[in-house]
Amino acid sequence: MDESVIVTIGGEAIAVPPMCFAALKRAWPAIQAMPACRGLIDQASTAVAIVAAAVAAVRPELTVAAIEERLKGAELTGLVTQVPALLASSGLVPAETKPPGEPAAGP
């Protein structure tokens, strides 16, 4: 099953694959910064860094700078709202919430 998350950058729908350890390591500073981001621009900047790290192996031309140049204002909210799905597909956050007392899935 393909767990890629689709984001739109510059009018192009881009499949962002779940992150492997190398991608997570590249994205980690941005992931840690997420809770402190308040405004849309800060949130989008963090999302851009995470997406760039996630696609580095399959779309190396999509660097942070390249994504920022292509990203349209109308695409910011969509990009930001897809990051939790990307983190879930990468195993960092639970894909669904379990009732209290029920064990979480995984090792």
52-70 pLDDT, tens per residue?
Answer: 999 999 999 999 999 999 9
33: containing domain: 5-89
Task: Indicate whether 53 belongs to any domain.
Answer: yes
- What are the tokens at 19? 């992150």
Which pLDDT value is given to residue 92? 87
Q: What is the mean pLDDT of residues 39-58?
A: 97
Which residue shows structure tokens 């790290």?
A: 53
pLDDT surpassing 90 at residue 23: yes
> In total, how many domains does the chain have?
1
Decide: 27 and 41 in contact? Cβ < 8 Å: no
User: In angstroms, what CA-CA distances link 29 with 34, 35, 81?
Assistant: 9, 12, 19
Task: Indicate whether 72 belongs to any domain.
Answer: yes
Task: Indicate whether 37 belongs to any domain.
Answer: yes
Task: Indicate whether 10 belongs to any domain.
Answer: yes
Alpha helix stretches (DSSP H) within the chain: 21-33, 40-55, 64-70, 76-89
Task: Indicate whether 26 belongs to any domain.
Answer: yes
